[in-house]
Amino acid sequence: MPGLDYPPLTLEIMDMVGDKWTLLVVYILGDGGLRFSELRRRAAPVSQKMLTQTLRALERHAMVERTVLPTAPPQVEYALTGLGRSFLAAAGVICAWTRDNLPALDAARQAFDRQRAAA
């Protein structure tokens, strides 16, 4: 098939935006900027390490901006950039599709597992 020779950066970005934590973080930040601790609470059960890695990847690709607030102790807030907001529409569709189809997906998965166990 012509045109399937994707540059490495394209594949890297597809990997990042297809990640479950990326989708969740972008979806959550769609409501506005949040401090790290609040974002972690809303994104449970993501670990602190995975949330940090996800935010760094999003920041590296200019989808999230990190702001150090002038407080004592310093606090950090994360917010979507214009690029991140442009991705929010796609992330929202995927998250809504998952939510809307969860019962059917779960039933299909259980039926598959039962069939495999019986074989």
Instruction: Say how far apart CA 47 and CA 62 lie, in whole Å.
Output: 22
Give residue-wise pLDDT tens across range 26-52. 999 999 999 999 999 999 999 999 999
What pLDDT shows up at residue 109?
97
pLDDT at 10 over 80: yes
Give residue-wise pLDDT tens across range 81-114. 999 999 999 888 988 899 999 999 999 999 999 9
CATH number at residue 82: 1.10.10.10
Task: Examine residue 84 and state whether it is found in any structural domain, yes or no.
Answer: yes
Task: Examine residue 63 and state whether it is found in any structural domain, yes or no.
Answer: yes
Q: How many domains does the chain have?
A: 1
Task: Examine residue 2 and state whether it is found in any structural domain, yes or no.
Answer: no
Task: Examine residue 49 and state whether it is found in any structural domain, yes or no.
Answer: yes
List the domain range (segments joined by +) for residue 106: 8-118
pLDDT at 2 over 90: no
Task: Examine residue 3 and state whether it is found in any structural domain, yes or no.
Answer: no
Q: What is the mean pLDDT of residues 10-28?
A: 90
What pLDDT shows up at residue 26?
95
Task: Examine residue 1 and state whether it is found in any structural domain, yes or no.
Answer: no
Per-residue pLDDT band for 1 (boundaries 50, 70, 90) equals low
Radius of gyration of the chain (CA): 18
CB atoms within 10 A of CB 78: 22
